Amino acid sequence: MAEFRMPSLGADMKEGLLVEWKVKPGDQVHRGDIIAEVETQKGIIEIEVFTDGAIEQILIHPGEKVPVGTVLATIRVAGEEAKAPREEGPPEPAFKYKVCMIAAHRKEGPPEAAPAAAAGKRLRISPLARKLAAELTIDLNTVQGTGQGGAITRADIERAAAAQKAAPPLAPAEPGAAMRRAIATAMARSNREIPHYYLATRIDMSNTMRWLAAENKQRSIKERILPVVPLIKATALALGEVPELNGYWIDDRHQPAEAVHIGFAISLRQGGLVAPAIHHADLKSLPELMEALRDLITRTRGGRLRSSEMTDATITVTSLGDLGVETLYGVIYPPQVALVGFGKILEQPWAENGMLGIRPILTTTLAADHRATDGHRGAQFLQALNQYLQKPEEL
């Protein structure tokens, strides 16, 4: 038996609100299937399962907010027999299951029991009342039960809903305020815990821009490749030469990643930003990367990201060139160990082989964790990045 837990979708996430189940007990699931939606400070995220099997039991109901690591459901792994129903006694403890997501232990009570109330007692509530409370967004800890033994009934929920409706409305929160708080928390942790070092270099983009112009002449407007795409691909390939920058710092040790999943910073219309992952960016062609980036931006702004896209990034790339920013110095998103920043491509004086001319120049910066690498390795990465951009036809 495997456990499906509330995943950690970022260094700043402590809890999540279960919005919807896409499955029910008995449904067959396969690795990568979307089986639930969870709301976090960064929006509603589609949650994937990472094992094959059948849904055995759903333990948390829509509308409940639970800490990261809480068991949401159990999954009967392919090949296991269905579990015989228990006649009596509490459910088996969570530690007997094989964990298939973020590991954390939380002893589960009977399905009809709600989270602990403020007074330290467990709430008693009927399934119908629980469902109605979720639909009406009623905080169960604020409801006084009038049923047998203090159980919360449907009538109690209806009274609470009426009282809530009669109360004066709260002032609307500023759009994106929750996300900005989450970002601020993560960046404060980054500045506090990560010993950053910064490097910058100027790259002649003449070859890349000429290649892009010729390539895009053969494409429709919808299929044209944006200048940021070769930058992403060159970053991914350069990481193959300096792999220490591709990975994480976890449990006080450096953990390089084998796959290259580029997190690309995307601003949201309501404010704030997220950096979901483009998986295996080093293995994609430039047209494939363009398609992946376009799809990722569309789904990010439409609130349809997958959990793996929120958690898998091994390094972050951020580009503000389209807004006229010439140079940017980013803050590493923990537990990653590096961030690459691209500014605006500007026509600038450039001297080469004793000749002075005007070239399209890009300022590129690297923010890196001194625990994982040093300035020498960081400089080698920027050098490799430059070399790849001089041969765009090979990207």
CATH number of the domain located at residue range(s) 177-394 in this protein = 3.30.559.10
Predicted confidence band at 355 (pLDDT cuts at 50, 70, 90)?
Answer: very high
> CA 357 to CA 30: how far, in whole Å?
58
Domain formed by 113-166, architecture: Irregular (4.10)
Looking at residue 86, what is its pLDDT?
45
Enter the tokens of residue 327.
């140079």
- 223 CB neighbour count, 10 Å cutoff: 12
Q: Which amino acid is at 334?
A: P
Predicted confidence band at 107 (pLDDT cuts at 50, 70, 90)?
Answer: very low
Mean pLDDT on 185-198: 90
pLDDT at 329 over 80: yes
What residue spans define the domains of the chain?
2-99, 113-166, 177-394
Size of the chain in residues: 395
> CA 334 to CA 186: how far, in whole Å?
7
Q: What is the pTM of this model?
A: 0.72
pLDDT digits over 50-68, tens only?
A: 889 999 999 999 999 999 9
pLDDT digits over 240-267, tens only?
A: 999 999 999 999 999 999 999 999 999 8
pLDDT digits over 77-104, tens only?
A: 977 766 554 444 444 333 232 343 333 3
- Looking at the DSSP assignment, which residues form a beta bridge with residue 360? 347
Enter the tokens of residue 238.
């350069």
> CA 360 to CA 33: how far, in whole Å?
44
Q: Which amino acid is at 289?
A: L
Mean pLDDT on 339-344: 97
The average confidence (pLDDT) of the chain is 85
CATH number of the domain located at residue range(s) 2-99 in this protein = 2.40.50.100
Task: Name the pairing type of β-strands 338-342 and 315-319.
Answer: parallel
